Structure 1
Amino acid sequence: MMEFLSESSHTCQVKPQNEIFQSQVAVAGSRVSPWLAPVLYFVGNYFLLPSFFGHISVTGQEQLPKTGPVILAPTHRARWDSLLIPYVAGRYVTGRDLNFMVSNNECQGLQGWFVRRMGGFPVDTLHPAVSSLRHAVELLKQKQMLVIYPEGNIFRDGKLHPLKPGIARLALSAELSHPGLGVKIVPISINYSHPYPCWGTDVSIHIGSAISIQDYTNGKIKQNAKRLTEDLSKDLQRLSNSLVVSHRAFAESIN
């Protein structure tokens, strides 16, 4: 799933918790199915991901906000990312369902049927419509959790690529149009032991501290968006570097 616009933690296995799941408010273009979501979460968390991957290491889950408007900003290394993010930050962990901003071609056919019913909504990545951006702001206004890949595409070289400015502009737009809303961006770094994940691939995921958008609302929005993008990039780079070190240490420990 793709992003729109051109532009000390405890390591553990993810374990389900008995949470009272927050209900999703259906708005035009995005809806989490009340019957399909529980089925797919159950299959993904207990069967698909544990059976496909080797070791799934996660740190920083305690930093995930369980209330309020949140944008999860993961690095994008494979299509598996969009299954792993709900696994580490979805209803079994935070009690919340996720809304993914996806490209138009991912909302077509059978795949599109599932994507739309799991909270995904389409955006023309080359010419994003104002209505799509308004929908994203509306989701944040409803204090929901949104997933946007700030690099804008899948990169398999293990390096952090320049972030698109869209995520910062969207977050600032939501916060400035609804003062006191309390939007936060959570950086997440994902690393696979193989560039093209196959059966038995190990995964390391590190969740960083939430960035408060209220800290970027003074002054000119263009300068604030640039500063926010730079700070998010630094956080993702720091998380990515720590994952590389952790992954090497893990690999050495099992050899």
Structure 2
Amino acid sequence: MYSTQQPAATVMIEFNSSSDTSCDNPATTPANAKVAHITTSRISPWLSHVAYFLGGHFLLPLFFGDIRVTGQENLPNTGPIILAPTHRARWDPLLLAYATGRCATGRDLRFMVTITECQGLQGWFVRRLGGFSVDPQQPSITTLRHSVELLEHGETLVIYPEGGIFRDGKVHPLKPGIARLALSTEFSHPGLGIKIIPVSINYSQQLPAWGTDVSIHIGHPIEVADYTRGALKHNAKRLTTDLTMALQKLSHHESKVSCRAFAEMPNS
């Protein structure tokens, strides 16, 4: 087994401020703060319908072997959610939408992606399928605000907490941004009820090729409100630790895939 980190299509905001004050509450950041670029995202009903149909009935079933999913009962049908999946391949976003998106819950996913993924024709599709961009070197205030707004409106936000693609099957140190974003939003909107759901994605081959089997395990929701008492910095570390443990547990589960019973998704 080996580890290869590649630039990820989706990335995690990492706050670098030593004081933590500048990003404690993205929702109340001054309007005249400098931003890197305009962040927008929306769901095109017709394009989303076509993408889910073609992906779920043709592309994924024809390319992969068995696609097995467990834990779909842990996905809420309403309320703000942050999906926190492991990142193993470029196929992850499509498989995550297949296992947790419209066909499973009736909900569309909002992916945080890099600026380069939102350029040209590809960017046109990404933005109309719910994706929005972030500069991993200089996360903008606009990106933070947009993330907060999505959670305020009860959307499903996808953030890869490892921040990059790792093919060794291990859970790598998580970036702190996912916990800080969730906690600052929940603190600013008491009772919002944000849930972070760990998701482990595993392939039978390190570099997915035709016929590769896939297993996706969806863990139990982590209630962000349980971490809102006390200092944000301390709670963010505690939440990050618990999310790490949850992902490690799910990954251990996947290592015994041949001994477990999965709820297999239909390939037709």
**CA deviation after TM superposition for structure 1 residue 59, in Å:** 0.4
Report if aligned partners of 1:4, 1:124 keep a CA contact under 8 Å in 2. no
**1: CA distance, partners of 2:11 / 2:259:** 29
Residues of 1 paired with 2:260 and 2:180: CA distance?
38
Paired residue type of 1:102 = V
Matched, 1:5 2:7: no
Identity of aligned residues (%): 64
Shift of 1:247: 4.3
What is the CA deviation profile of residues 26-66 of structure 1, one whole-angstrom value per residue up to 9, with x for unaligned ones? Answer: xx601010110000000000000001000011000010011
**Moved runs in structure 1, 4+ residues, more than 4 A?**
247-250
Work out the number of aligned pairs and report it: 231
Superposition RMSD in Å? 1.4
Q: Does 1:162 align with 2:170?
A: no
Q: Distance in 1 between matches of 2:85 and 2:108?
A: 16
Question: How high is the TM-score relative to the length of structure 1?
Answer: 0.88
Q: What is aligned with 2:27? A: none
Letter paired with 2:134: V
> How far apart are 1:157 and its partner, in Å?
1.1
Instruction: Return the alpha-carbon distance in structure 2 between the equivalents of residues 2 and 233 of structure 1.
Output: 18
Q: 1:204 to 1:182 in 2, by over 3 A?
A: same
Question: Which protein has greater RCO, CA pairs closer than 8 Å, 6+ apart?
Answer: 2
SS at match of 1:35: helix
Shift of 1:6: 3.2
Deviations 1:72-122 (A, max 9, x none): 000000010000011000011100001000111110111111110100000
Correspondence 1:1-255 to 2 at 5 A: 1-6=9-14, 29-247=40-258
| 2:18 corresponding residue in structure 1 | none
Measure how far apart 1:68 and its partner are. 0.1
Deviation at residue 249 of structure 1 after TM alignment: 6.8
Structure 2: unaligned runs, 5 residues or longer: 1-8, 16-38, 262-268
Letter of the aligned partner of 2:113 in structure 1? Answer: V
TM-score, normalisation: structure 2: 0.84
Are the counterparts in 1 of residues 12 and 162 from structure 2 also a CA contact under 8 Å? no
Contact 2:167 2:206 in 1 (8 A): yes
